[in-house]
Amino acid sequence: MKIVADENITGLRHLFAPHAELLMLPGRAITEEVLHDADVLLVRSVTRVGASLLAHSPVKFVGTATSGTDHIDQDYLCDAGIAFADAAGCNANSVVEYVIAALSHLSLSKNFSWLEKTLGIVGAGHIGGLLAARLEKLNMDYVIHDPLLDPAGRHAARLVSFEQASAQDILTLHTPLTYDTEFPTFHMLDAGVINNLCGGQVVINAARGGVIDGNALKARLRKKNDLLTVIDAWENEPEPDPGLLKLVTIGTPHIAGYSYDGKLKGSLLLYEKFCRHFGLEYRDPGFYGVEDLVLDLHDEVGLHGEELMDRAIRGAYDIGADHASLSAIGANRASGVAGGLFEGLRKNYRKRYEFYHFRPILPAHEKNLAQLLRNLGFQ
């Protein structure tokens, strides 16, 4: 058996090399030519998989180590008799923590309490649903827009129209990118929606770039940059619009779901489905343990309550560093962000551990904060 795989899949060699010949390539270097003798194709999000890639290959199993699947033509795979496996939900917690880190960062820099804001969640699948559950633990107000949810289901009391969701203090997007469907999401935030947003609103896109009309957002921000914008997913990746990048409040290189834990979960889910499909013995990889990481906040003089909480969040995940990295490569190039540099930030992304690895050490009197941090996902 021969496997062609994206080299950025975490633990790829350790998991799959014992079972087959393994050819590891950058995701955008996976072409029809390299698949001429492949049995299995394993990708992440940058490889578009459909007839143009696979029509003349012997591939019989395609897997993506990602939760999102809009880069996969599943109708074609089904018609061609090619088995498919994804890693649905693997990075949900990572994206939720990205949203929390972004709000915490904004609250510190813009001097407001994010815990007192109301969120409009658009899309309540794996990520949006988990975010809603986290907000409930924090006793925060939120509403949901998702026309695919059961109107009598568990979120019934929270369901609102898109117009109502987009009018909340914070609008956060967690939808796939769809076009010719009953509820298309392409340019869901078009010029009309964007121009109706109120000054001071927070807009977060950690979904897909095409959900927002980037030109319309850029025009609004150029005219009056009064929104707090957090953009992780960009149109025209891996070459985001340099003009928009300069205007957003926080811009990151599509790494919201790139925690080490999220990527590892994706690999393990994919490996399990691969083994099941081919009737292979599942081998426990045994390399995913991480020791507790201590956040010593005991001596943070003059900080208390929510300020100390935001310091803990930044200690676990400093989203400002990701913004600085992307901004730097954009600022150093007159022609914008070259694709190789953008993808380099993703390929060489540091090991970002999720909150549950961190054990905060707090001042003795901060007992309420200790519970709040546990509700956020810390130890």
DSSP characters over 290-345? ---EEEE-TT-TT--HHHHHHHHHHHH--HHHHHHHHHHHHHT-TT---HHHHHHH
C-alpha torsion 301→295→97→305, nearest 10? -30
C-alpha torsion 12→17→19→25, nearest 10? 70
Could you give the CA distance from residue 83 to residue 359 in angstroms, rounded to a whole number?
A: 42
Tell me how far the alpha carbon of residue 355 is from its chain's centroid.
Answer: 15
User: Which of 105, 158, 174, 254 is an active site residue?
Assistant: 254
Tell me how far the alpha carbon of residue 308 is from its chain's centroid.
Answer: 26
Q: Cβ neighbours of residue 86 under 8 Å, at least 6 residues apart?
A: 63, 64, 66, 67, 69, 72, 269, 270
237 has catalytic annotation: yes
User: Which of 235, 237, 343, 354 is an active site residue?
Assistant: 237
Q: Cβ neighbours of residue 316 under 8 Å, at least 6 residues apart?
A: 97, 101, 293, 295, 353, 355, 357, 358, 378
User: Which of 44, 71, 208, 352 is an active site residue?
Assistant: 208
Could you give the CA distance from residue 90 to residue 299 in angstroms, rounded to a whole number?
A: 36
182 has catalytic annotation: no
32 has catalytic annotation: no
Residues marked active site are found at: 208, 237, 254
